[in-house]
Amino acid sequence: MSFTDQVWQRIEPVRNAISRHPFVCALADGSLELETFHEYLRQDALYLIDYSRALSALAAGARVADEVTFWSGCAHQTMVDERSLHASHVDVLEGAIMNPTCRAYMSFLLASTHAETQGVGIAAVLPCFWLYDFVGHRLREGVHSEGELDAHPYGDWIRTYTGPEFEEATRRAKDYADQYAQASDDAGRERMAKAFEVASRYEWMFFDAAWTGQQWPL
């Protein structure tokens, strides 16, 4: 069994919790309050700035030219495509303040990609690819035609994470994780697995923070 198959099994409770989360359920049926979605987008826009830096760090640490091209391309495309999605909904950055979960998640990703091994860094960013691919396709299963998707209030979000480009990026990110895991010793693979698990939990927390309107207490 590959490394990615193993860690995907390890986070089954997290995947199930994300699928059942009221934010994701409301996003799926279109009942999500627009302001709640906008708050999610505001936090995601702030997240993407540092996420792009994390991907750029992976490009700098890559071993071969194809890997450099992949991570640097992801860093660029992340900002272009997803910020375009955000702009279609709301002027997200105007007065936005990063909430505690977003700040903690970004601190974890930046530390993982700048101060850990390349394998650990890849494992840390992988849930942002794989879990969004997973959620996007779960939501797409409930929309039975392109016409329904066009009419869905969050159809553009669903399309972003079920498109062939994002599917291919997820596949390649998983492949690089498997390559580095195969080249690592047992301790290195376990550090990679822990990074993947922690980042997956942060993904649940990110949805939850948007749903609850998380703010700094002071």
The total number of structural domains in the chain stands at: 1
Q: Is residue 199 part of a domain?
A: yes
Q: Is residue 159 part of a domain?
A: yes
Q: Is residue 15 part of a domain?
A: yes
The percent of residues in the chain predicted with pLDDT above 90, rounded, is 81
- Split at pLDDT 50, 70, 90, the class of 88 is low
Return the CATH number at 100.
1.20.910.10
Q: Is residue 177 part of a domain?
A: yes
Chain segment 34-87, per-residue pLDDT in tens? 999 989 988 998 898 899 999 999 999 999 999 999 999 999 988 786 667 666
Instruction: Give the range of the structural domain holding residue 7, as residue numbers without chain letter.
Output: 3-212
Nearest to 121 by CA among 186, 167, 185, 53: 53
Other CB atoms within a 10 A radius of the CB of residue 73 amount to: 14
* Mean pLDDT on 169-193: 98
pTM more than 0.85: yes
Q: How far is CA 143 from CA 40, 147, 207, in A?
A: 22, 9, 21
* Mean pLDDT on 6-29: 97
Q: Is residue 218 part of a domain?
A: no
Q: Is residue 180 part of a domain?
A: yes
